[in-house]
Structure 1
Amino acid sequence: MKLALTMLALSILSTTASAAALPEPQAAGLTRQLQAIVSDPAMPLASLSVVAIRHGEIVYAQQLGSKRLATATSPAQPADANTMYRIASVSKFVTALGTMKMVEQGRLSLDADISDYLGYRLRNPHFPDRPITLRMLLTHTSSLRDEGGFKWAPDVNLKDVLVPGGRFYGKGDMWSATQAPGTYFEYVNFNWGVIATVMERAGGERFDRLMRRLVFDPMRLKAGFYLDDFAPASVKDVATLYRKREKDGNELWDPNGPWIAQADDFGNEAPAAPAGLDRYVVGSNGSIFGPQGSLRISANELAQIMLMLMNGGRDKDTQVLKPDTVDLMFSRQWTLGGAGNKGNGDSDYFHGLYHAWGLGNQHFIDVSEVKNGRASGDRLVEGGGFTGVGHLGWSWGLNALFVFDRQAKNGMIYVSSGVGANPELQPGKFSSEARFQERITDVLYRGAIMAR
């Protein structure tokens, strides 16, 4: 099986970047190191797909483990080059591509009051004189919070969630009472549900279809936010996400217990549309399509997106985004200053992970420190030396990284479909990430990008 997977990776490279591919002995050695991480009994992984790009060319691609684990009635199905993952928060990064395309087309403005798009006045009631803009949503400075929820059913209009007096407004927990719009960074999923709704209002069609027309179809990608748009052959390719943790209830971890499907268990049941989707009103609630975390895409298609961005928005013969739009998207919008609530952002979120941000993308500026007795920061490789832009993703057992250095055109992608132990109990040595995540990026960096 290992030999077959190695040959598969080499066949991918032969059609995409044969001149740049790692020599076979180096590629085989790198595969062995990654397999050791996947098989580590302290943190087994259900599957792992990786791509490394050096100087703008793919030098290594590999898939290990199973997109669906064995059951009593069916054998395991190995991950392969077509395996698609529910990519968690890397979805936000891809959503931002569609948003920036609409900005480029003049259908959206980064600094307009989003009330103008939504058709109703939207304000944080604690700061009624502060308009909220698309720039604030993309940079997590909108003053929205996730405490009031961030995904709503198709028959819910977000106006009834966001505006005082609405039937889903509750206690108004979705609004910060202390931080005004545009002044403070706090990572929030709900921003992306509002972004998708604004896109629908400006574009006149459902978010998932907008993304297909703006990004996926021009690049000839199978990726999508809504599984009903996939051909049956593509649904087969979607990986099930696993943890050795209960799915519901008290959600206890049991590293010695069975793998438990958490999401996309399509080996047992077909994907189903959200109840009431047939009555959905476009522009009322884009959160139903999961713009913050429900994109299904393969690691190889993520690599295609990365190469497009490295090449000034050009994918083969198609100019997906203008070079100026790409530059704007990755321009620094926020850098952490101060500490905690006394500064300009939540410096404690996820053990101090976030230090800088662009428009829908994290800037990894190579910070490593110790906070509250554990490693903290956005460092990607041991000892430092790699900075870049991109996004992390983790949810339902899925763990992913999409990051690249725009100047050097070096990049790393990894996607894992399941963890066999609680990552919080295995913290990293030099960053806010878990140790297994650090090991993956470090091995990719040294074995593919820095390899000679």
Structure 2
Amino acid sequence: MKQGRRAVLGMALLGGVGQVFGGSAKTSVAVPPAPYGELDTALTAISRAPALQLASMSVLAIRDGKIAYEFQTGMRSIGVHGAPSKAANERTLYRMASISKMMTTLGVMRLVEDGKLALDADAGDYLGYPLRNPHFPNQPITLRTLLNHTSTLRDDLGYSFPAATSLKSLLLAGGELYGNGAMWAPTAPPGRYFTYSNLNWGVIGTIMERVSGERFDRLMKRLLLDPMGLHGGYNPSEFSAEDLSNLATLYRKRTTDTEIWHSAGPWIAQVDDYSKRPPAKPAGIDSYVIGTNATPFSPTGGMRMSARGMGKVMLMLMNEGKHEGRQILRADTLATMFSRQWSFDGSNGDTDKGLFNYWGLGNQHFVDQPGMQMVEGGGFAGVGHLGEAYGLMSVFAADLAAKNGMIVLVGGVSSDPAAYKSKSSAMARFEEQILTAMHRHVIVGKEN
């Protein structure tokens, strides 16, 4: 009942049920020019809904290949014990969670272009030791199967380890961390069955280090961040003072060591809280052996970037790999990366309750089909990635052909988002509301 009232409030603020959340959008309806006052008001209302509040939010929308809308609300840092709070702004960096996988993949594809990696080579050849599922010992695991989640690796024994730990001790029988081999699925041989695996990206990052001789965080800075003039990265201990001052703390109204929510209680910092002291180096990193274990930098979820920075990446993808006249990646490389690699056929994968249905290389495909629609009533399809960790929830969704896209970064949730499901997909209801509002006002709507 409370959710229903919140939905009605959001629809009213968005200009009426028929115009915004109805079965068809009215493209002839006049939309205020930037900064889209009605949309600002609607997004603010969504962020403050009593049932599920957002600590902060930064969004961006691209229409016809140009940034058409940006908006921030809430606090990137919530002051306690008399300390001031700091508002989110266009420079605020967020730990974007699993959208990091897509960013890592952009680095992978640059190494493919450089001839250092091949998608269908045996990944063990890059690691320097066999990478084989013991249930299917004659079937090579390739970079392609790691990137499309069909490698057969699972997260059952973890996917993040101290710098001094070699992944070899986890992946090879007899290794210190191998245990009963629970990281290897017996379901089907590599390339056949999809299961979302964070461990894949720890292996991918380690492979990137092996072939480049560079530490993962610094390698990604060279391959992606510096060429595009982007702020952020995978290692806050090396951020500039300016970037640290704009880094969002992630919050939940939930203690860090339990799953008990207190939606009426205080916001509790989960990660990236540097209000009292600067970020420390990853433990043991000074003696780290490059190419043994990239997980301390979290290739799977550790990239910090602003919505504006992510918008630059999205525009680069829409412009066939070009950024401000510089070719970051070739058009054919991006075509390979975003080509369909896996489709759910009813039995060939775990969709995580309908969240995953189609996949490329390091990216999810969002289709405009009932039960999978990103916006209520349909009308948007694209590629990109979702993210969720430590209260952060994020969306990167781009229609590369039409050059339209949406980015959402949320810095914390007050209630369990799983309790407030979308009407049209497996996402959270508030994500659907935000995307629907931006889609109707900015992408479908036309400026005066």
The TM-score, its normalising length taken from structure 1, stands at 0.90
Q: Match for 1:315: what amino acid?
A: H
Distance 1:72 1:363, change over 3 A: same
The residue that corresponds to 2:47 in the other structure is: 38
Question: CA contact under 8 A between 2:65 and 2:315: conserved in structure 1?
Answer: yes
Q: Distance in 2 between matches of 1:269 and 1:391?
A: 32
The residue that corresponds to 2:238 in the other structure is: 229
Q: Distance in 2 between matches of 1:177 and 1:269?
A: 46
Q: Does residue 352 of structure 1 match 2:360? A: no
The residue that corresponds to 1:317 in the other structure is: 325
The residue that corresponds to 1:158 in the other structure is: 167
Q: Distance in 2 between matches of 1:189 and 1:269?
A: 29
Selected match of 1:446 from 431, 435, 440: 440
Q: Does residue 253 of structure 1 match 2:267? A: no
The residue that corresponds to 1:365 in the other structure is: 367
Selected match of 2:395 from 385, 398, 401: 401
The residue that corresponds to 1:209 in the other structure is: 218
The residue that corresponds to 1:188 in the other structure is: 197
Question: CA contact under 8 A between 1:85 and 1:298: conserved in structure 2?
Answer: yes
Q: Match for 1:436: what amino acid?
A: F
Instruction: Choose 24-33 or 429-438, whichever is displaced more.
Output: 24-33
Q: Distance in 2 between matches of 1:149 and 1:162?
A: 12
Cα deviation for residue 192 of structure 1 reads: 0.3
Per-residue CA shift, 1:278-328, capped at 9, x if unaligned? 110000001111000011100000000000000000000211001111111
Q: Distance in 1 between matches of 2:145 and 2:343?
A: 14
Q: Does residue 82 of structure 1 match 2:85? A: no
Cα deviation for residue 173 of structure 1 reads: 1.0
Q: Distance in 2 between matches of 1:446 and 1:26?
A: 15
Q: Distance in 2 between matches of 1:64 and 1:237?
A: 14
Q: Distance in 1 between matches of 2:334 and 2:232?
A: 21
Q: Distance in 2 between matches of 1:287 and 1:335?
A: 28
Q: Distance in 1 between matches of 2:255 and 2:35?
A: 39
Selected match of 1:283 from 291, 298, 301: 291
Selected match of 2:418 from 420, 424, 427: 424
Give secondary structure in 1 for the equivalent of 2:156: helix
Give secondary structure in 2 for the equivalent of 1:64: strand
Between 1 and 2, higher relative CO (CA 8 Å, sep ≥ 6) is seen in 2
Q: Match for 1:408: what amino acid?
A: A
Question: CA contact under 8 A between 2:108 and 2:208: conserved in structure 1?
Answer: yes
Instruction: Choose 227-236 or 107-116, whichever is displaced more.
Output: 227-236
Question: CA contact under 8 A between 2:363 and 2:384: conserved in structure 1?
Answer: yes
Question: CA contact under 8 A between 2:99 and 2:395: conserved in structure 1?
Answer: yes
Distance 1:148 1:72, change over 3 A: same
Question: CA contact under 8 A between 2:232 and 2:243: conserved in structure 1?
Answer: no
The residue that corresponds to 1:12 in the other structure is: none
Q: Match for 1:358: what amino acid?
A: G
Q: Distance in 1 between matches of 2:39 and 2:187?
A: 49
Per-residue CA shift, 1:324-349, capped at 9, x if unaligned? 111111111111112xxxx11113x1
Selected match of 1:391 from 385, 394, 406: 385
Structure 1 runs of 4+ off > 3 angstroms?
22-26
Q: Does residue 413 of structure 1 match 2:413? A: no
**How do 1:1-150 and structure 2 match up within 5 A?**
23-24=32-33, 27-150=36-159
The residue that corresponds to 1:301 in the other structure is: 309
Q: How many residues align?
A: 416
Per-residue CA shift, 1:249-299, capped at 9, x if unaligned? x33101111110011011133211122111100000011110000111000
Q: Match for 2:441: what amino acid?
A: G
Q: Distance in 1 between matches of 2:221 and 2:417?
A: 34
Q: Match for 1:111: what amino acid?
A: D
Selected match of 1:329 from 337, 354, 364: 337
Cα deviation for residue 383 of structure 1 reads: 1.3
Question: CA contact under 8 A between 1:49 and 1:64: conserved in structure 2?
Answer: yes
Q: Distance in 2 between matches of 1:289 and 1:368?
A: 37
Question: CA contact under 8 A between 2:32 and 2:38: conserved in structure 1?
Answer: no
Cα deviation for residue 26 of structure 1 reads: 6.5
Q: Distance in 1 between matches of 2:82 and 2:422?
A: 38
Give secondary structure in 1 for the equivalent of 2:227: coil
Q: Distance in 2 between matches of 1:449 and 1:225?
A: 31
Unaligned runs of 5+ in 1: 1-21, 370-377
The residue that corresponds to 2:24 in the other structure is: none
Cα deviation for residue 25 of structure 1 reads: 6.7
The CA RMSD over aligned residues, in Å, is: 1.1
Q: Distance in 1 between matches of 2:391 and 2:70?
A: 22
Give secondary structure in 2 for the equivalent of 1:393: strand
Question: CA contact under 8 A between 2:382 and 2:397: conserved in structure 1?
Answer: yes
Cα deviation for residue 390 of structure 1 reads: 0.1
Q: Match for 1:427: what amino acid?
A: K
Selected match of 1:292 from 300, 309, 312: 300
Q: Distance in 1 between matches of 2:34 and 2:72?
A: 17
The residue that corresponds to 1:272 in the other structure is: 280
Q: Match for 1:367: what amino acid?
A: Q
Q: Distance in 2 between matches of 1:223 and 1:397?
A: 19
Q: Distance in 1 between matches of 2:182 and 2:241?
A: 40
Per-residue CA shift, 1:137-181, capped at 9, x if unaligned? 000000000011101110011100000100011111111022211
